Amino acid sequence: MRWKHRKTCKPTAWEAARDLATGSSKPSMQAANAEHQHNIKRQHNMKQLATLVLLALLAGCVRNELPTKQSNAKSKVDHLIIKEVFYIGHYWVRDVSKWGFKNTNNNYNDDQYIEIYNPTDQVQYLDNMALCAHAIDPTKVITFAPKDDFVNRYYGVNAISYFPGSGHDLPIQPKQSIIVAKYATDHKAMFEKELEGEDLSLYKGLDAFLDLRKANFEWTNANYDHSGKNNPDVPDLQAIMTRKDKSGNTIPSYEMQEISEHGGLALVRLPWTPEDFAKNYKDTKDKRGYLHYITVTSSAFADFEAIEIPFEYVVDCITICPRSQFQMRPSKLDKGYNAVTDVPFVSLKNSDYPTYSGLALTRRWDGRKFVDDDNTKSDFKVQVASLSRKDDKGNPIK
C-alpha cells in the first residue's frame, strides 16, 4: 500500500466560492431599500450554492493517510490464503455418577488443523514456505525498549516449521485446499485405543473427534515428536533448525508445536534457507542475524527472542485472541483479531465446553470470492469446523 499525497486546492476556486456568497458588487442604498426582500432571498440562495461549491472542492482534497484495504466485487486475491483454523478441539466426559462423583467436561485438542487454499487461477507452490507463530501474545500489553519495538518493522515469530520441497515439488492447484494437521490420524480411534478396553458407553463426546488421516501434512515431526500420534504415511513439516545430541537424537529449535488461542499465525515465504538460518541466525557485534533479543521495559512481561520475517515475505496471517481479552496488535499487517471464544479457554465455565466444542475460524465468502481485508475480525467468522464428522443425517457432530 502506498501513501497518497495531499492535493492542493486552488485559491481561485475558494475566491470564486466567496464571491458567490457575498456578491461581486455593492448596490446603492436606495436600490437595497427598494429590493430588500428580494436581496435577502437572493443572498440566501447564493450562500447555499457557495456551500455546495466548497464541499465539492474539499472532496477533491485527499487526506494524507494510509488507505484501508477493502474488498469489493472486482478485487481479486492473488496469493494463497489461510482459509480455516481449527484450534479449540472437542469436549469429552466420562460418566462417573454411578460411583457418586460429579461428571466433569474435559477438552481434547490434538485434532487441530489449518486449511490453506489457492484462490488464484495459477498453480501455487508450498516449496520454501513455512507456518509461523507470532512472538507476541495479543492479550498482554508490552512496552519495548525503543530499538526493539518491531510491531511496525517486521513480523516477529518464535516458531517456524517449513514445508519440504526444492522448488516445484508441492503444487496447490487453482481452487484447491490442503490440510496441515497437528496429527494426521483418526483421533476417535486413537483415543479409544488408549482407553485399553474400558467401557466406551461411559464416554460421551468421542464421536466428534476428527479423522484427519487424509491431511496433506503434519506440522509435528516424527523425528522429534515422541507422542506416538504422528502418522508415518503423511509428510511432516521441518523445524527451521535441528541438531543432534550426544545420543544421536534429533533436537528441534523454534519448531511449531500447536495453535495457541492467543497469538498470531502466518504463512510465509522463507527469506533464507534453513542452512543459512542455522549459520547466521545469531546477532553479533559485526553483523545483524535473524534472531533478535527483545528488551521489554514493562515489568509484567519478560524479555524474549523473535525471529525477523520481513513483511514482504508474509503471504497471509491471522490473529487469534479471545474477544474480551485483546490488548495490543502483534503486527501492523493485521488490523483485527478474532477467536472462537470471548474469554480464554481456562476461564470458561465447565458447562460451556460443549458450546464451543468443534468450532473453527473460517474465511468469509462474499458471494464471489473469499474476503481478504487484512483484518482477522472481518475476514473470518466462527462456525462448525468443515472437517467435522457427520451423523447419519449428514449433520456435523460437534
pLDDT above 70 covers what percent of the chain?
81
pLDDT tens digit sequence for 85-95: 999 999 999 99
Q: 267 in a domain, yes or no?
A: yes
- Residue 146 corresponds to which amino acid? P
The mean pLDDT of 50-68, rounded to a whole number, is 40
pLDDT higher than 70, residue 384 = yes
- Confidence check: pLDDT of 16 > 90: no
Helical (H) or strand (E) element with 193:
helix 187-194
Per-residue model confidence as pLDDT tens digits over 346-381: 999 999 999 999 999 999 999 999 999 999 999 999
Task: Classify residue 32: in a domain, yes or no.
Answer: no
User: Is 29 part of any domain?
Assistant: no
Question: Is residue 45 very low, low, confident or very high in pLDDT (cuts 50, 70, 90)?
Answer: low
Considering its fold, how many domains does the chain have in total? 1
Q: E-strand spans in 63-209?
A: 81-86, 90-94, 106-108, 113-117, 124-125, 129-134, 155-162, 171-172, 177-181, 203-204
Could you say which DSSP state residue 7 is in?
A: P
Residue 324: inside a domain: yes
> What pTM did the predictor assign?
0.81
* Burial track 46-56 (b if 16+ CB lie within 10 A, e otherwise): beeebeebbee
Any domain includes 73: no
The separation between the first and the last C-alpha atoms of the chain, rounded to the nearest angstrom, is: 41
Question: Does residue 88 lie in a domain region?
Answer: yes
Q: What is the pLDDT of residues 158-185, one digit of tens each?
A: 999 999 999 899 999 999 999 999 999 9
The DSSP secondary-structure symbol of 252 reads E
Q: What does each C-alpha distance from 281 to 166, 180, 273, 305, 313 come to in angstroms?
A: 21, 27, 11, 12, 17
- The pLDDT assigned to 46 comes to 56
Any domain includes 391: no
Encode 80-102: b = buried (16+ Cβ within 10 Å), e = exposed.
Answer: bbbbbbbbbbbbbbbeeeeeeee
For the stretch 361-384, what's the b/e string if a residue is b when 16 or more beta carbons lie within 10 angstroms of its beta carbon? bbbeeeeebbbbbbbbbbbbeeeb
Judged against a pLDDT cut of 80, whether residue 294 lies above it is answered with: yes
Show the domain range for 218: 81-384
pLDDT confidence of residue 76: 82
Mean pLDDT, the chain, rounded, equals: 87
129, 193 Cβ separation under 8 angstroms: no
Please report whether residue 37 resides in a domain: no
* Model pLDDT, residue 308: 98
Assess whether pLDDT exceeds 90 at residue 309: yes
Number of helical (H) and strand (E) elements in the chain, helices listed first = 7, 20
The answer on pLDDT for 390 being more than 70 is yes
Question: What span, in angstroms and rounded, lies between the C-alpha atoms of 87 and 361?
Answer: 9
In this predicted structure, what is the pLDDT of residue 298? 86
CA neighbor of 69 nearest in space, from 349, 373, 398:
373
